[in-house]
Amino acid sequence: MPRNIALLGGQSSGKSTLLGALGNALKAETLTHLRMDGLDADARGLQRLAQPLHHGRYPQRTKAGERIDLVVPLRTTGDYFGSDAFTLRAGDYDGEEVDRLFRDRLREWTSEWRQRALADGLLLLLRPGEKTRPPRLQSSPLPDDMARWRLLRERGASSASPSEQASVPHRSDSFFGQIYLEEAPPPPHATPTDPVAIPVELPLIELLQFIRNVRELPAGRRPRKDHERFRIALLVTAWDAVSQDWRKAGPAAFLSHHFPLLDDYLWSNFLPDDVFRFGLSATGGDLRDPDYSQAYLDMDDPAGFVEWLDPLLGIRNSRDIGMPLYWVLFGDRALGAL
Amino acid sequence: MPLPSPVRPLRCGNPDCTLPEGGRCARLAEFAEPLADCPDLAREVKSTSEAPSTTAPWSGRHLDPTEADRLLWRTPARLVGVLGPYNAGKTCLMTSFFLQLANGQRGTFPYRFASSLTLHGFRELMDQAGRWTGKEEEGIVPHTTVGADTSKPRHFLHVGLRPKDALDDRHIDLLLSDLPGEWVKGWTEYVDTTATERMNFIRRCDAFILLADAGALLAREGKATDDETSILIRRVLESTQDVNPRPPLALVLSKFDRIIQSVEPPPPEKRAERDAWGARATRLRLTWPALEDARRAGLPIEVFPVSAFPCALNQGQPIGVLDPFTYVMKHADSRERWSPLEVPIPEGVRGFATLRRWRDEHAA
């Protein structure tokens, strides 16, 4: 039975772009360790996602209700990972499907979803919002309620607007120092005037809960047996657009700060070895920018890249956007495949 | 009604069960015939039609009493009764609690989020709270309504928690009651059959968070609120008199931001002391004696000033929201913890038998 990787992500999370770029890289044989092993009878999905990139444009967002199945027979190149043949079956579906599933549970939990739930590994795509919180100094003390009450009194007395007391951003160096951690530190304690964010990751968490339910994994229990385990690669897409401070801190810290509920959920339900965080830029820049779009067309080499934090070596970067796929298939051994 | 047959090969949702591997049922003490009776075993589901269902495994909305009851059979589960009169801020407190977890602001709360069967319910509450502009006259979250179908009201929120302690490998199902204030008031004042039926869960509660609107309570005309709060404390005390261990009780003075200009709360360690609240304590002429009675009856008591929404969400953080939850969980989830066993392993010794021989030789 060929191994099956499911690609999950909400609306505009970059699923189509990743699949298109991956398809083109496979055809150009620029992935270091993977090759196409023939062509599936139905190559329409592959072509439809890959072609817009040849014109310096993003693939069109998958339309509501439309599902494109990308079926690519693959083989490893026989060097680092040995010889292994498998089929990449990644469904590209309209991103609203995850939200619809969250909203309308009576009709949307389809057999396709259940099939994805049984995949051998998951690529989970998250796109940062327009505004991302800057890194902040970790050593801020635990908030003292008495101080907060007093501040509220003073604020009321002086009628100062809360927004006047904006928090001061700090640099990631101050936050993370030079120590690389396998597990990212939790978000720093909020200052009284920090906004409270409504979590956007609830539909994805619910989807992961459904997936665990299909796989008969009880809530909150980390897998204990080998057959219960499966790998999840979390990909922060549009990583090129993320500020340098955050890129230095790495995708694990970024995810822990911007999606703390998802981070908690993964920590509670999966073994640390089964989850890995990557920053991914499938196109290396923003194709909506006409200058970059032109530069992208002129490039011979693949423009995309992947970044991750190696606990020993710090931030690592690879032009091989197949890296998350290698990791899902082969685990930590893949990180040495640079 | 007999349960359906277990699926073969056997599968069990209880992490401590070894029955599928030929071992023992973790709940053998409760179910002498686990194959027939244990609810943790996966069982055949009789489908009514051939077509595969497109319905998700759960609705994501508030749980009804049957669903809540099923969760309480799991181990460990904790039920917290969040009670208070109409407009006391019960739903606001729970919404803000979830928002704090979702923002990674756990503070000293010793658990991390692990699951929820009511994510949809939480999202609706958070979305509503996100639209609040900060004006007092606007509602922050919708009032919990009695609902048209009162036979199976959906009034429980669920959060699965995992202790931060690396040595504690449990998943705790925390259930929070989210009842209409009218029901609480009705039950407090007159326990008839309907009230008993609705509030049947009270005796199962591991802890209580009682809310009183601080502004209404400490205002000059706050006698009615004082009375309501005191009678609620006494009703909880009455309903749990034979419950052991005694459930902790956190009294939350909600919406404290509205009176912060006239009352500064005493330091945390003194908040349960009447004198520490100064002249304002005299306004709680009925609440303090009720609290003292509850304390004498053995209930752990603490008082918390809380402001779940001191301003619009985009303008600042809540104050003190996690404290009552930390407090009640400290008691409701307390258990004797043994320090990890430290077995000295001599250099070069491998294998259990060798280690045992070495131990026997050295112990002698």
Local confidence pLDDT in tens for the 364 residues of chain B: 567 778 777 777 777 777 877 777 888 777 877 888 888 888 776 544 455 677 888 889 999 988 998 898 877 899 999 999 888 999 999 999 999 999 999 989 999 999 999 999 999 999 999 999 988 888 898 887 765 555 567 899 999 999 998 888 899 999 999 998 888 888 888 777 777 778 889 989 999 999 999 988 877 778 899 999 999 999 999 999 988 889 999 999 999 999 898 888 999 999 988 888 887 777 788 999 999 999 999 999 999 999 999 999 999 999 999 999 999 999 999 876 667 677 676 677 667 777 777 778 776 6
Kindly determine whether residue B58 and residue A105, on different chains, have CB atoms separated by under 8 Å. yes
Contact with chain B for residue A162, Cβ under 8 A: yes
B interface test, pick of A102, A194, A198, A228 with most B CB neighbours within 10 Å = A198
B216 vs B225: CA distance, rounded Å: 6
Asked if B178 contacts B94 with a C-beta cutoff of 8 angstroms, the reply is yes
pLDDT at B48: 46
Across the strands, what pairs with A69? A91
pLDDT at B347: 72
A77 token code pair: 């190149």
B interface test, pick of A149, A200, A207 with most B CB neighbours within 10 Å = A149
Asked if A121 contacts A233 with a C-beta cutoff of 8 angstroms, the reply is yes
Kindly determine whether residue B126 and residue A199, on different chains, have CB atoms separated by under 8 Å. yes
pLDDT-derived band of residue A151, with 50, 70 and 90 as boundaries? Answer: confident
Q: Compute the radius of gyration of chain B from its Cα atoms.
A: 24
Q: Specify the pTM.
A: 0.84
Percent of chain A with pLDDT over 70: 83
Helix, strand or coil, per DSSP, at residue A96: helix
B257 → closest Cβ in A152, A190, A198: A152
pLDDT at A133: 62
Contact with chain A for residue B128, Cβ under 8 A: no
Alpha-carbon distances, residue B358 vs A126, B344, B349, B355 (angstroms):
54, 10, 8, 5
Contact with chain B for residue A129, Cβ under 8 A: no
B325 vs B94: CA distance, rounded Å: 10
Contact with chain B for residue A271, Cβ under 8 A: no
B25 vs A270: CA distance, rounded Å: 25
Task: For residue A189, tell me if it sits in a domain.
Answer: no
Number of domains in chain A: 2
B282 vs B268: CA distance, rounded Å: 20
B113 vs A256: CA distance, rounded Å: 13
Q: Do both A256 and A326 map to the same domain?
A: yes
Q: Do both A119 and A219 map to the same domain?
A: yes
Residues counted in chain B: 364
Which chain B positions have a beta carbon within 8 Å of A208's beta carbon? none
Distance from CA of B262 to the nearest CA of A (A): 9
A109 vs B196: CA distance, rounded Å: 38
Beta strand pairing status for A67-76 and A275-281? unpaired
Q: Do both A115 and A262 map to the same domain?
A: yes
Distance from CA of A239 to the nearest CA of B (A): 22
Q: Do both A174 and A291 map to the same domain?
A: no
- Sheet with A275-281, edge to edge strand ranges: A5-9, A121-126, A231-236, A275-281, A305-310, A314-318
Asked if B92 contacts B308 with a C-beta cutoff of 8 angstroms, the reply is yes
Kindly determine whether residue A221 and residue B15, on different chains, have CB atoms separated by under 8 Å. yes
Chain A contacts in chain B segment 178-237 (CB below 8 A): none
Q: Do both A89 and A141 map to the same domain?
A: no
A272 vs A263: CA distance, rounded Å: 11
Helix, strand or coil, per DSSP, at residue B222: coil
Kindly determine whether residue A268 and residue B114, on different chains, have CB atoms separated by under 8 Å. yes
B344 vs B350: CA distance, rounded Å: 12
Task: For residue A18, tell me if it sits in a domain.
Answer: yes
A265 → closest Cβ in B105, B106, B114: B114
Task: For residue A231, tell me if it sits in a domain.
Answer: yes
Neighbour tally for B193: CB within 10 Å: 7
Beta strand pairing status for A275-281 and A231-236? parallel
A329 vs B1: CA distance, rounded Å: 46
Q: Do both A98 and A232 map to the same domain?
A: yes
Q: Where are the beta strands (DSSP E) in chain B?
A: 77-83, 111-115, 156-163, 172-177, 207-213, 249-254, 301-305
A190 → closest Cβ in B57, B103, B123: B103
Kindly determine whether residue B323 and residue A142, on different chains, have CB atoms separated by under 8 Å. no
Average pLDDT over residues A58-68: 72
pLDDT at B360: 80
Enter the ipTM.
Answer: 0.88
Q: Do both A159 and A283 map to the same domain?
A: no
Beta strand pairing status for B207-213 and B249-254? parallel
First vs last C-alpha separation in chain B? 58
pLDDT-derived band of residue A115, with 50, 70 and 90 as boundaries? Answer: confident
Task: For residue A188, tell me if it sits in a domain.
Answer: no
> Which residue is closest to A208 within chain B, CA to CA?
B115
Q: Do both A176 and A277 map to the same domain?
A: no
Tell me the CATH number at A303: 3.40.50
Helix, strand or coil, per DSSP, at residue B93: helix
pLDDT-derived band of residue A157, with 50, 70 and 90 as boundaries? Answer: low
Contact with chain B for residue A105, Cβ under 8 A: yes
Residue range of the domain that includes A323: 5-134+200-336
Q: Is the pLDDT of residue A175 over 70?
A: no
Asked if B42 contacts A216 with a C-beta cutoff of 8 angstroms, the reply is yes
Higher per-residue confidence, A238 vs B190: A238
Task: For residue A193, tell me if it sits in a domain.
Answer: no
Non-local (6+) Cβ contacts of B37 within 8 A are: B3, B31
Q: Do both A105 and A222 map to the same domain?
A: yes
A276 vs B138: CA distance, rounded Å: 44
The DSSP secondary structure of B254-275, one letter per residue, reads E-GGGGTTT-PPPPGGGTT-TG
Domains of chain B: 1-57 (no CATH), 65-332 (3.40.50.300)
Task: For residue A98, tell me if it sits in a domain.
Answer: yes
Distance from CA of A233 to the nearest CA of B (A): 19
A interface test, pick of B115, B127, B253 with most A CB neighbours within 10 Å = B115
Higher per-residue confidence, A256 vs A64: A256
3-state secondary structure A249-275: HCHHHHHHHHCHHHHHHHHHHCCHHHE
pLDDT at A231: 95
Kindly determine whether residue A162 and residue B315, on different chains, have CB atoms separated by under 8 Å. yes
Q: Do both A128 and A212 map to the same domain?
A: yes
Which chain B positions have a beta carbon within 8 Å of A138's beta carbon? none
pLDDT-derived band of residue A173, with 50, 70 and 90 as boundaries? Answer: very low
pLDDT at A322: 92
Distance from CA of B77 to the nearest CA of A (A): 12
Chain B contacts in chain A segment 202-261 (CB below 8 A): 202, 205-206, 209-210, 213, 216, 218-222, 224, 256-257, 260-261
Q: Is the pLDDT of residue A325 over 60?
A: yes
Beta strand pairing status for B172-177 and B156-163? antiparallel
pLDDT in tens, A131-146: 556 666 454 667 778 8
pLDDT at B364: 60
pLDDT at A174: 47
A268: exposed, middle or buried (Cβ count in 10 Å: 0-12, 13-18, 19+):
buried
A139-176 burial, b if ≥16 CB within 10 A, otherwise e?
eeeebebeebbebbbebeeeeeebeeeebeebebeebb
